[in-house]
Structure formats: structure tokens, C-alpha cells
């Protein structure tokens, strides 16, 4: 049975910031549908021993153990705007991991704190994208890398919930955004995958992983 317009709007809000009684189920659905994009993203970073990784928008954290497997003594820090997601991620009880709440703009860490950073399907919700990119730049060490994964605008426009609070991107739009920062664009890789959508339909998703360097 198709979702009503009000249900679609509520889903869009949950995708942006999971909360309340439905937040956990939405987060589990996001983990399942995003795991392919997540793996492409941390693979792009070529994680190595001793890396310190920052992720913006870690969700329920069920993928973090995979990130930790990228190197010996690798440390991971997750940032979230959702209290519920922070609690869910902390229930994983992983070592060398910390989860921190932030306001979605200012990153609460000192400069030169991380070797690598990543984010998957969050850029649509960034309130101040240039400012947040500059914040990531600030907390990365010299030559640090940032990988941003995002589904293509052309694909996202076919989904009913993206008309509510989503700022959609294609490669050119994000590359233009990057030029307003000190980041260098290293590469952009393109991917396709079959996934079950948030409205429970099987769709072919096209997405990019953009790699930036400080």
C-alpha cells in the first residue's frame, strides 16, 4: 500500500535525524540500504594502521567494526546530530571508538586531530555546507583525506521523500562547492547498485564517492 504524503514527509524527517519510537527501525533500514555505499567510502580512504578516522553521521554504528578492521590500532570517532543514534551506536561496545554529538556545523575537536574523514548520505542535510567542509578541513591533519558518498541528484529526484528538506547534488555541484574551500579534489568514482528503497521498492541507485585532500 503506497505511503500517504504525510507518511512520506515523516520518513524524510526521520532520514535526516532519526528519533522517537520509529527512529531505531528507520536507522536499521538505513544501515541495510547504505552498507554498500559505506564500504565503497572507507575503501576509497585506503585505511591503514594507526589511522584516526572521523565519520559524520554514523547512524546506528553497525558498520563501525568493519571500519576498525582497516588497520591495526585504527581509532574511530563518530559525529551525530541524533541523540538516539549516539545511544544506539554506543551499544555496540567497541574499543578504540567514541561517539560525539554536535550541532551539524561546528566540529568539537582541535585542529589536526584526524588522518581521514568520511560521510555517507548526509550531505543533503548540511545546513551550512561550506562552513562544515572548512571545519572538516580544520580537524584533518596535513594531507588528510575526506571521502563523501552521495546518491546522484537524477536518482534521488525519483524518490518521493526527497522533496522534503533534501538538498540534492551531482558531481558538478559538489565540485563547485569544494572550490569554495581549501580542499583539493583528488578523484570521483561512480557506482551502481540494486537496493531496496526507503519506501520498500527495489531500485538501481547511482552514486559517487568524492575524495578530497587537505
List the one residue out of 118, 128, 148, 149 whose CA is nearest residue 53: 118
pLDDT of 37 over the 60 cut: yes
pLDDT of 33 over the 90 cut: no
Domain boundaries, the chain: 5-213
Over residues 118-128, the mean pLDDT reads: 96
Check: CB of residue 170 under 8 Å from CB of residue 207.
Answer: no
User: Residue 27 has what pLDDT?
Assistant: 63
Hey, is 60 helix, strand or coil? coil
Q: Give the residue with greater pLDDT, 28 vs 145.
A: 145
- If one counts every other C-beta atom within 10 angstroms of the C-beta of residue 49, the result is 9
Q: Give the residue with greater pLDDT, 30 vs 198.
A: 30
5-213, superfamily in CATH? Vaccinia Virus protein VP39 (3.40.50.150)
Hey, is 162 helix, strand or coil? helix
Integer CA distances (angstroms), 26 to 10, 20, 63, 191, 196, in order: 11, 10, 15, 24, 13
User: Residue 163 has what pLDDT?
Assistant: 82
Q: Give the residue with greater pLDDT, 202 vs 88.
A: 88
Q: Which residues are paired to 196 by β-bridges?
A: 202
pLDDT, tens only, 164-192: 788 999 999 999 999 999 999 999 999 99
Hey, is 192 helix, strand or coil? strand
- If one counts every other C-beta atom within 10 angstroms of the C-beta of residue 176, the result is 11
Note the pTM of the prediction, 2 decimals: 0.92
pLDDT of 29 over the 60 cut: yes
- Percent of the chain residues topping a pLDDT of 70: 89
Amino acid at each position: 500500500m503506497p505511503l500517504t504524503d504525510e507518511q512520506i514527509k515523516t520518513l524524510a524527517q526521520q532520514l535526516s535525524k532519526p528519533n522517537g519510537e520509529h527512529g531505531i527501525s528507520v536507522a536499521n533500514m538505513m544501515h541495510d540500504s547504505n552498507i554498500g555505499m559505506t564500504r565503497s567510502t572507507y575503501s576509497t580512504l585506503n585505511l591503514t594502521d594507526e589511522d584516526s578516522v572521523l565519520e559524520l553521521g554514523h547512524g546506528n554504528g553497525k558498520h563501525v567494526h568493519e571500519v576498525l578492521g582497516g588497520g591495526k590500532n585504527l581509532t574511530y570517532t563518530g559525529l551525530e546530530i541524533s541523540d538516539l543514534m549516539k545511544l544506539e551506536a554506543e551499544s555496540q561496545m567497541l574499543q578504540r571508538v567514541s561517539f560525539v554529538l554536535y550541532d551539524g556545523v561546528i566540529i568539537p575537536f582541535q585542529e589536526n586531530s584526524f588522518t581521514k574523514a568520511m560521510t555517507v548520505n548526509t550531505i543533503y542535510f548540511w545546513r551550512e555546507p561550506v562552513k562544515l567542509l572548512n571545519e572538516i578541513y580544520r580537524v584533518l591533519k596535513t594531507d588528510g583525506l575526506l571521502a563523501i558518498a552521495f546518491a546522484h541528484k537524477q536518482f534521488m529526484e525519483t524518490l518521493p521523500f526527497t522533496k522534503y528538506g533534501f538538498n540534492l547534488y551531482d558531481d558538478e555541484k559538489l565540485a563547485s562547492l569544494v572550490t569554495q574551500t581549501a580542499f583539493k579534489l583528488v578523484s570521483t568514482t561512480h557506482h551502481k547498485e540494486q537496493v531496496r528503497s526507503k519506501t520498500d521498492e527495489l531500485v538501481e541507485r547511482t552514486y559517487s564517492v568524492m575524495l578530497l585532500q587537505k
